[in-house]
Structure 1
Amino acid sequence: MTSQSIKRLILGRPLKSEEAEGEKMPMWKALPILSSDALSSVAYGTEMILLELATVGAFAFSFSIPIALAIILLIAILIVSYRQVIDAYPQGGGAYMVAKENLGMMWGRLAGVSLLIDYTLTVAVSISAGVMAITSAYHAAVPYVVPIALLFTWFMVWMNLRGTSESGNVFAFPTYLFIFCMLVLVGKGLFDWLTGTGHTTHSVSVPTGLPTGLTWFVLLKAFSSGCSAVTGVEAISNAVPHFRRPAEKNAKRTMLTLGILLAVIFGGVTILSQAYNIHPDPTGTKSVLSMVAEAAFGRGGFYYVIQLATTAILTLAANTSFNGFPILSSIMAQDKNMPRMFSNRGDRLAFNYGIITLGILASILLIVFRGKTDALIPLYAIGVFLSFTMAQVGLVLKWCRDKSEGWQRKAIINGVGAFVTLCVVIIFCITKFKEGAWIVIIITPLLVFLLTRISKHYDNVAKQLKVELSEPIPVVETVVIIPIAGIHKVVLSTIAYAKALSPNVVAFYVAFSPEEAKKMEERWEQWNPGVRLVVVVSRYRTLIKPLIEFIGRAERHYGKEKRITVLLPEFITHKFWHRLLHNQSAFRIRTLLLNRKDVVVSTVPFHLND
């Protein structure tokens, strides 16, 4: 089986460029692909709030509902704001495009870096939370958290390398199963609470004052932790071009659907955690959602369906990043802010470099933080809220500059969004700084600096490569130097090729003794290939140094009148291990000469039979 056959078996048949339209998403497929991150956050959003409140005591749990309401209000603001982003920038790119065009390229890079960091952390957090759902139901899996997480991560890489359409078909069912399970759970729990049946043991109340022992700092920490439920909503605006036509309309409908589902499920789970008097597990092996499901349905069949659906959606939540990261990195690469290879599509029309890079970075995070969700959360969401803020500020400037119909209303909406998300960024940086947020705060400007250097490099290369169309092509003669190790068919083939290029051909041979040099000159004269031979005796038994010195003398002799070309005779073997036995000197010569400004280095291959 050939390598191409193996590749086709793993990734599927190559797709033509014209088939790109078939890879675009209808609404029913876009929801699971682009919204699974935000939807899945209900599996740990409430838990993060309770974990922070638990530091001062269970009496503070009643504040989880006001915090959840504040987060739902934030979700509503962002949904409205990003619907406006879709209208203004239907070409995709989201916060990066808005910041770049309205605030300048430097701010665009900052928005892009912030989102790329968030996408990477989304994969790590989602996968680790998904594994936690497994350990909640099956405690025997606890020692294998990291291997399971890595397995899930690279399954996602594989599915996305197969293309958007195929991954959407696979991921749609688990996402809709999770939505169904969560709506049933919220419905059952609210029925138990309102009727006083089931295991509801605690009255749900909204506090009216701040009790002793609970500070605003703790409340802000709980709010910032719960804001993990907001991440992912921007992915739809980043991927508008990947929607079926009418793309903007379908993207806005998907955004609205996501907002409604997120508010209902997240708010419902938070209310149920108080109604069922759920306390977060201090060992970190049982999730709050698992305990809510157990209180509502017991450890029966539907409980395990919920856990299975939760594991699936949390794993698939990473899929939002596997769509967002490659798309954003391709747009940034087209703007010369990332390596150009990130803009290339693979055989399946997927951005392979972005997908694989994301898989590697997420795997590193999972290994370093040992797959612990609570350790990764402090790093999470700063990037996405920073990009939220820049997108909103950029839109305010756009509306004020364009003054299109309804610009004042749009500017107010985005202005409110900018103020709220900036407050969230500040809260995150202060409350989560010591817990790991400092890592993101340091890495972000470093990455912006790196992207700036990449952009300057591309600009410099473009400036040096620019050609005036009226400029004539210079005619330059060449002197061909052929390093040889003896007289054989590879040398014969190389000389024949060299004589077709130029009449100025020189063969160069390094001997280790005068006797060897004389013998080589006699054989060359007897063979008489019509090419001058230069023999140098190397007293220190080195091949490379005499050749480099000879090339240097030739450069000084001919100056700019003639170009030096070095042709390396090289025979090609068909078995991979044979390659280790030959051509090592040619490899070293090529490596050294490629750094010389005015020397052309080329290989003349000679293929052996086996």
Structure 2
Amino acid sequence: MAGRQRADRNRDGTTPPEGPSNVFSPSAEFPPLNDAELAALREIGRAWGAALRDHPPDETELPLDPNLDQHDHPPTPSRFGRLARVEMFRTGRREELTATGAENVSGGRLGRATGRLRRLLLGPPLASAAVLQERMRKLVALPVLSSDLLSSVAYGPEAMLAVLVLAGSGALGLSLPIAAALVVLMIAVGTSYRQTVYAYPHGAGSYLVASDSLGPRFGLTAAAGLILDYVLTVSVSVAAGISAITSALPGLAPYTVPLGLLVIAGLLAGNLRGVRSAGKLFAAPTYLFIVAILLLFAVGLARAAGRGFEPVPPPPVGAVEGLGLLVVLRAFASGAASMTGIEAVADAVPAFRPVEWRQARTTLTWMVGILVVLFAGLTVLIDFNGLVPRADETLLSQLARQTFPSGPWYALVQAATTLVLLLAANTAFNDFPRLLFFMARDDYAPRRFLHMGDRLAFSNGIVALAVTAALIFVAFGGYTQSLIPLYAVGVFLAFTLSQSGMVMHWRRHRVRHWRRRAAVNAVGAALCAIVLVTAAVTKFVDGAWVVVVAVPLLVLLCLHIRSHYDAMRQALTLATAPDGTPPPEPDQHDEPAGEPDRAGEPDRAGEPAGGGDLDVGLTPAQVRHLVVVPVARLNLAALRALAYATSLGQPAFAVHLSPEPEEADRFRRQWEIWGSHLRLETIISPYRAVIAPLAQYVGALHAARPDVTLTVVVPEIVVRHLWHQLLHTRTELRLRRALRDLPGVVVTSVPVHVPE
């Protein structure tokens, strides 16, 4: 143990802060109760025990063993409708069953074919215990998380030179000093994020850091910028890859949109297979791109050395703008697009194998080192060869063509570039769902984003990203280059807030060497802020205004989601009275004063703390029943519903809706023939409406006695085929929708199955 503790220490003798051992867990959907709720639960349980002691033993004895121990081979569920014959459970420990089937598979030929296709594309389901095996090792994490970052060097130097060339070919000489400044920025931000991973070893994204150190709204602002960046990464990178394909094969140009959607669908399927499978699928193209560019460097430098490293003068280009500070800053901000995706490792720290933070820091170091080598090398080679941006060919293609005038190497570089551009979106598919996971954990995003699919991937987040990016791709006809100006604004907004938050973090905690650490993050924050302001100002008209509008709207949406979950939490939180007993049944004329909730704000007037209407009936002794059975005809379905309602041992009566008095008299005579075993109420509906009068009648009953729980038992016809449902009115569904807003009203159905 001591050896492990020493291994987890940093070189400066400090140890990363402790935290949960497995942040990305299937159990994240089921947070535990806090101490106050456990205390309330204990008191409510005592009241339950007192109430159940009054029941005779024969009333609580179960007619069968729920653990199915009396069966050597537990029976499988019967097949009806859309449920397939799958063995759902096997016996395990006492009072515990284990599901052996991963899901309910749709029956019929179409359902079985769909299930087989799903398994073919996504693979067999993975058990929750396999979540640790699904984590990434460094060799897999590097290509999976760096595809966006490394692919940006294919257009980052060109974006920088495209601004400088506006001041004429003489301004191209500034490319090397600006590239050097960008290298400093890359190293500074990379070093800053290494410290961020150290300080937040269980999740170090901009959202988490800014929320913790600057406040929730700053965290949401950073998250909004990243959300926009991830969506644009998918749509723009796919468009760039498809553009490279159609440039080589012009005959495919009319099929740009279908090809792009096919690529997005492939990325969706690959990521739904899980982290490990996606890594195996997408690792090779990234490594191929690195090898191809390094080969390009080696041959290009050898050719430059052959002529004494004498640069080739660029072709003369007329100046469109005067060379000034604004042009230099614009070139610097455009070249900074090469850094999009540098935060990917920080967001994915919990997805690494143990020790997570150490594996993530090592991967981040390699990523930044490779980025610096590729970016600086390409910029130097472009300068040596005197290349300028052209509309008909990218700078990387020009460089590869000059370096490899013959042989298959040019095609290799272009193929590797195309693949890595297409797969650059894979970084977004990894980080976007994890960002939504952290936001959903804090109730700023829908909680469905906490759910892990059957392959232990955040399926809902992956699908949401694919659908959103596909809509943008289709809306712009596959030509999304106009969205590129939004890149730097969104991502550097997140960078700036993250690094500023780290400065506050070190000042607050004051660990060893905190001043040096804070200085590193301050430098990173300042440089990122320069890029952010420059990009926002110079590219505002070109599209950066979209970020200025979209970020506040996303923040407001997240705050609205949080307010809903806060209200729901307040309603569902267990609470006890000051004397430790469960909340008493409120009198309908009483209006108890609100008590402060966890945030220090009073409850809504007229609602007891911790639940309002949901506090009614926390123990069996507090529940008073009245069962209502709507009956249209005295057939088998109605008699089964009446028998079920009476078997509950609670007061019950029936209600019949009739379109005219004559039909009501006829039904009462049938009721008398049956024996009038229950009280019958008749409602005349002269306008032939059914649901509205019945719902209003139940509502009036509830208003008369809010302390009585009304259980509406509705007969339900269940048919085998889906199209048969069109032949029935489905009254029970319509009535359930009409009554679900009434507190204290329970709607249940008694199914009657029709085989054909």
Give the TM-score band, short-chain normalised: over 0.9
1:393 aligns with one of 472, 496, 500: 500
1:430 aligns with one of 510, 519, 537: 537
C-alpha separation in 1, matches of 2:406 and 2:690:
76
| Cα distance change of structure 1 residues 297 and 499 upon mapping to structure 2, 3 Å threshold | same
* Letter matched to residue 499 of structure 1: T
1:267 aligns with one of 366, 376, 390: 376
5 Å-filtered alignment, 1:489-528, equals 489-528=636-675
5 Å-filtered alignment, 1:277-356, equals 277-282=386-391, 286-298=393-405, 300-356=407-463
Structure-2 residue corresponding to 1:543: 690
C-alpha separation in 2, matches of 1:146 and 1:64:
35
| Cα distance change of structure 1 residues 400 and 435 upon mapping to structure 2, 3 Å threshold | same
Q: Alpha-carbon deviation of 1:492?
A: 2.0
C-alpha separation in 1, matches of 2:190 and 2:707:
67
Structure-2 residue corresponding to 1:581: 727
Structure-1 residue corresponding to 2:341: 232
C-alpha separation in 2, matches of 1:405 and 1:391:
21
5 Å-filtered alignment, 1:147-226, equals 147-196=258-307, 202-203=312-313, 213-226=322-335
C-alpha separation in 1, matches of 2:320 and 2:745:
79
Q: Alpha-carbon deviation of 1:245?
A: 2.1
2:288 counterpart of 1:141: no
C-alpha separation in 2, matches of 1:249 and 1:589:
57
Q: Which has the higher contact order (CA 8 A, sep 6+)?
A: 1
Q: Alpha-carbon deviation of 1:524?
A: 2.1
| Cα distance change of structure 1 residues 419 and 262 upon mapping to structure 2, 3 Å threshold | same
* Letter matched to residue 677 of structure 2: G
More helix by share: 1
Q: Alpha-carbon deviation of 1:132?
A: 2.1
**SS of the residue aligned with 1:381?**
helix
* Letter matched to residue 178 of structure 2: I
Structure-1 residue corresponding to 2:102: none
Structure 1 residues 385-443: Cα deviation after superposition (integer angstroms, max 9, x where no partner)? 11111111111112122221111111111111111111111001101100001001110
Q: Alpha-carbon deviation of 1:125?
A: 2.1
**Is the Cα contact below 8 Å between 1:481 and 1:505 reproduced in 2?**
yes
C-alpha separation in 2, matches of 1:441 and 1:48:
22
C-alpha separation in 1, matches of 2:488 and 2:749:
52
Identity across the alignment (%): 40
Q: Alpha-carbon deviation of 1:170?
A: 0.9
2:591 counterpart of 1:482: no
List gaps (5 residues or longer) in structure 1.
Answer: none
C-alpha separation in 1, matches of 2:686 and 2:509:
77
Q: Which stretch shows the higher mean deviation, 115-124 or 530-539? A: 530-539
Q: Which stretch shows the higher mean deviation, 2-11 or 568-577? A: 2-11
Structure-2 residue corresponding to 1:102: 213
Structure 1 residues 479-513: Cα deviation after superposition (integer angstroms, max 9, x where no partner)? 22222221222222221221123432222222222
Q: Which stretch shows the higher mean deviation, 153-162 or 451-460? A: 451-460
* Matched residues, number: 602
**Is the Cα contact below 8 Å between 1:98 and 1:395 reproduced in 2?**
yes
C-alpha separation in 2, matches of 1:352 and 1:34:
18
Q: Which stretch shows the higher mean deviation, 364-373 or 539-548? A: 364-373
1:600 aligns with one of 725, 746, 749: 746
List gaps (5 residues or longer) in structure 2.
Answer: 1-108, 583-617
C-alpha separation in 1, matches of 2:420 and 2:136:
19
**SS of the residue aligned with 1:323?**
helix
Q: Which stretch shows the higher mean deviation, 345-354 or 118-127? A: 118-127
5 Å-filtered alignment, 1:375-386, equals 375-386=482-493
| Cα distance change of structure 1 residues 57 and 575 upon mapping to structure 2, 3 Å threshold | farther
Structure 1 residues 160-203: Cα deviation after superposition (integer angstroms, max 9, x where no partner)? 111000000111111111100011112222222232399x9824
Structure-1 residue corresponding to 2:163: 52
C-alpha separation in 1, matches of 2:165 and 2:313:
18
* Letter matched to residue 698 of structure 2: I
C-alpha separation in 2, matches of 1:123 and 1:212:
33
| Cα distance change of structure 1 residues 49 and 144 upon mapping to structure 2, 3 Å threshold | farther
Q: Alpha-carbon deviation of 1:451?
A: 0.8
| Cα distance change of structure 1 residues 460 and 550 upon mapping to structure 2, 3 Å threshold | closer
C-alpha separation in 2, matches of 1:218 and 1:148:
37
Q: Which stretch shows the higher mean deviation, 5-14 or 415-424? A: 5-14
| Cα distance change of structure 1 residues 372 and 220 upon mapping to structure 2, 3 Å threshold | farther
Structure 1 residues 213-245: Cα deviation after superposition (integer angstroms, max 9, x where no partner)? 223222222222221100111111111111122
**SS of the residue aligned with 1:72?**
helix
**Is the Cα contact below 8 Å between 2:716 and 2:730 reproduced in 1?**
no
**SS of the residue aligned with 1:571?**
strand
| Cα distance change of structure 1 residues 211 and 579 upon mapping to structure 2, 3 Å threshold | closer
| Cα distance change of structure 1 residues 195 and 128 upon mapping to structure 2, 3 Å threshold | same
Structure-1 residue corresponding to 2:566: 459
Q: Which stretch shows the higher mean deviation, 482-491 or 161-170? A: 482-491
**SS of the residue aligned with 2:452?**
coil
Structure 1 residues 312-359: Cα deviation after superposition (integer angstroms, max 9, x where no partner)? 111221111111111111111111111111111111110111111111
C-alpha separation in 2, matches of 1:214 and 1:138:
38
* Letter matched to residue 374 of structure 2: I
C-alpha separation in 1, matches of 2:354 and 2:692:
64
**Is the Cα contact below 8 Å between 1:15 and 1:348 reproduced in 2?**
yes
2:149 counterpart of 1:42: no
2:218 counterpart of 1:72: no
5 Å-filtered alignment, 1:349-364, equals 349-364=456-471
Q: Alpha-carbon deviation of 1:553?
A: 3.5
**Is the Cα contact below 8 Å between 1:513 and 1:539 reproduced in 2?**
yes
C-alpha separation in 2, matches of 1:561 and 1:238:
50
| Cα distance change of structure 1 residues 589 and 528 upon mapping to structure 2, 3 Å threshold | same
Q: Which stretch shows the higher mean deviation, 386-395 or 412-421? A: 386-395
**Is the Cα contact below 8 Å between 1:136 and 1:287 reproduced in 2?**
no
**SS of the residue aligned with 1:372?**
coil
Structure 1 residues 539-586: Cα deviation after superposition (integer angstroms, max 9, x where no partner)? 2121123213322342344x1342222222111112111122223333
Normalising by structure 2, report the TM-score: 0.76
**Is the Cα contact below 8 Å between 2:710 and 2:746 reproduced in 1?**
yes
C-alpha separation in 1, matches of 2:407 and 2:253:
22
C-alpha separation in 2, matches of 1:380 and 1:302:
31
Normalising by structure 1, report the TM-score: 0.94
Q: Which stretch shows the higher mean deviation, 49-58 or 70-79? A: 49-58
**SS of the residue aligned with 1:481?**
strand
**Is the Cα contact below 8 Å between 1:570 and 1:606 reproduced in 2?**
yes
Structure-2 residue corresponding to 1:564: 710
RMSD of the TM alignment (CA)? 2.3
Structure-2 residue corresponding to 1:18: 129
Structure 1 residues 586-605: Cα deviation after superposition (integer angstroms, max 9, x where no partner)? 33222111122332222222
Q: Alpha-carbon deviation of 1:300?
A: 4.4
**SS of the residue aligned with 1:605?**
strand
